[in-house]
Structure 1
Amino acid sequence: MGIEVGGISGLILLVLNVWAIIKVSQSSAATGHKVLWIVLILILPLVGLILWFFLGPKGNS
């Protein structure tokens, strides 16, 4: 059994993941690093988001 996320918490997680993917794509990191971060966020939404927040590339703005 996996952890199911639904309702408001699922919507919040989706919005945060989309925001993180946008920030990664706007960052000045190399293309390969951007792709790896985006794949990580997509495959592991909660863990990927947390790891990106602390370790990943941020947007230029």
Structure 2
Amino acid sequence: MNAALEWATGLDPSWLLAALLVALNLWATWLIVLSAAPVREKVLWVMVIFLCPIVGPVLWFVFGPKRSMLES
């Protein structure tokens, strides 16, 4: 247990932030691919996410097509 704690406290915060950003971008891209939006919209949203990796996923979650909670 002590070794795991030492390993976790020794991580560089910038690597953790980068990993979180990559995970967020992949998740948003996956949701775009699974959405019912037209292919043209999907391509544009994926381009936005990869060209603006910090703001892109936020824009998708705010302005992207919405699914009803009952559809899931």
TM-score, normalised relative to structure 1: 0.82
List structure 1 runs of 4+ shifted beyond 3 angstroms: 58-61
Q: Which has the higher contact order (CA 8 A, sep 6+)?
A: 1
Mapping of residues 1-61 of structure 1, within 5 Å = 6-57=14-65, 61=72
Counterpart Cα distance in 1 of 2:66 and 2:27: 11
The amino acid of 2:54's aligned partner reads L
TM-score normalised over the length of structure 2? 0.70
Unaligned runs of 5+ in 1: 1-5
Paired residue total: 56
